Amino acid sequence: MDLIQTVIWALVALGILVSFHEFGHFLVARLCGVRVLRFSVGFGRRLFSRYDRHGTEFAISAIPLGGYVKMLDEREGPVAAHELDQAFNRKSVWARMAIAAAGPAANFLLAIVLFWVVFMGGTAGPVPIVDSVKPDSIAEAAGLESGQEIIAVDGEPTPTWQALNWRLANRLGESGAIEFSVRYPDSNLEYHMVADINRWLSGREVPDPLGEVGLGLWTPPISMTLHHVQEGSAASAAGLQAGDKIVGTDGRSFSGWEEWSKYVRARAGEPLRVAIEREGQRLTLPVTPAEVTLDSGERVGRIGVQPVTESWPEERVRVFHYGVAGAFSQGVQETWDKTLFTLNSLKKLIFGQLSTKNLSGPITIAKVAGTSAERGWQSFLSLLALLSISLGVLNLLPIPVLDGGHLLYYGIEAIKGSPVSERVQVIGLQVGMALVLCIMGLALYNDILRL
């Protein structure tokens, strides 16, 4: 996907998330009788604005990295006597808490709705059946074998690859025992296998739970026939075409696509002689793999081809269909599970169980938004739901300048019967702003390193 499309999808995602978050504040403020002066998506100079019959300005501003709702408040300027009852600071502490909490609540509600729509359309995923086990891995220590279906991890069901990945991701940075529940084909007997982990992948920048546990899951056989040759790639320059069948390279034969692909990846910049079959004729073409740097920092060779893959057998794919009520229930459950996962990940970051290199900023979010949009509407909506949950959780952190910081101050006020002193609020604002800027700077720095 090109840069312009990536930016467009990122702006769409950010615009939806910010709009819903701020609409939560706006709606509850109106319900509590607070006059809203401005509802802005973005910061800085206003590019577009209009006023409603209540005198509220709705604006789109130049810097699309957030938004805000500006309310009538005596602390920010003089308020006419006849409008004092509409000032935010004159409302009860409970009303102010409700207004502050409404933004994150709107994000969680949006996630439920998005997951609801996704589940209404039905979902599907490959069944996690073990194909290979890496020597000296967690999977080998647990006793996993080829042909077994992994039905649960730590007692939590894993009906699909995605579910298995999420369950393994829940254990990142942890120590203790990890339990796999498996069964063999055509058998209802369950076997429980356990392996020990110690601060598992805590220092990894881009952890791959499924790969690092040492599992190769079953996929349909991959043909040695080319399905697609990327335009402008090394393969295209060498004359390779869709429909060509790879029969060998440098005088060697290969057992399958994976073995041949590894051979090419290990020879970046080295001239290769690729033997092919084309329309019954055998040809040998010189190809030099281009050097590509992966997100992990590894440098590999790539020629720019994709193979023909066989379709998945019906029995190896699980398809889930839900009614309206069932999809909503599943959406609520998914939102709850992903919220707990986000909170657990934050805890691990704070206590050093996960590397801060896992923090991502706007560049990574933009890339993921673009990729998910390419994969279809369900993928994009699922990403929006996950981002909405993250936004809701982060805004509830007890850091001044965030909604959670305001809730902390209002909670103290409700207990002691008087507001937190202005001096403490100013200091908290400065500390909170510095902390948020440091986190944003670190996330952006990680983004730049990944580029």
For 391, phi and psi rounded to 5 degrees? -65, -40
Are the CB atoms for 164 and 216 separated by under 8 Å? no
Alpha carbons 377 and 192: distance in angstroms, whole number: 37
Are the CB atoms for 34 and 72 separated by under 8 Å? yes
CA-wise closest residue to 172 among 351, 407, 365, 366: 351
> For the chain, what is the largest distance between any 2 Cα atoms, rounded to a whole number of angstroms?
91
What b-and-e string marks burial along 2-16, b requiring 16 or more CB atoms within 10 Å of the CB? Answer: eeeebebbbeebbeb
Question: What phi-psi label fits residue 397: left (phi over 0), alpha (psi between -120 and 50 degrees) or beta?
Answer: beta
User: Do the strands 305-309 and 299-302 form a parallel or antiparallel pair, or are they unpaired?
Assistant: unpaired
CA distances from 125 to 21, 160, 164, 306, 317 (A): 31, 5, 11, 22, 6
The residue from 22, 149, 174, 334 that is catalytic is 22
Check if 374 is active-site: no
Q: What is the dihedral of CA 83, 87, 90, 93, to 10 degrees?
A: 150
Active-site residue numbers?
22
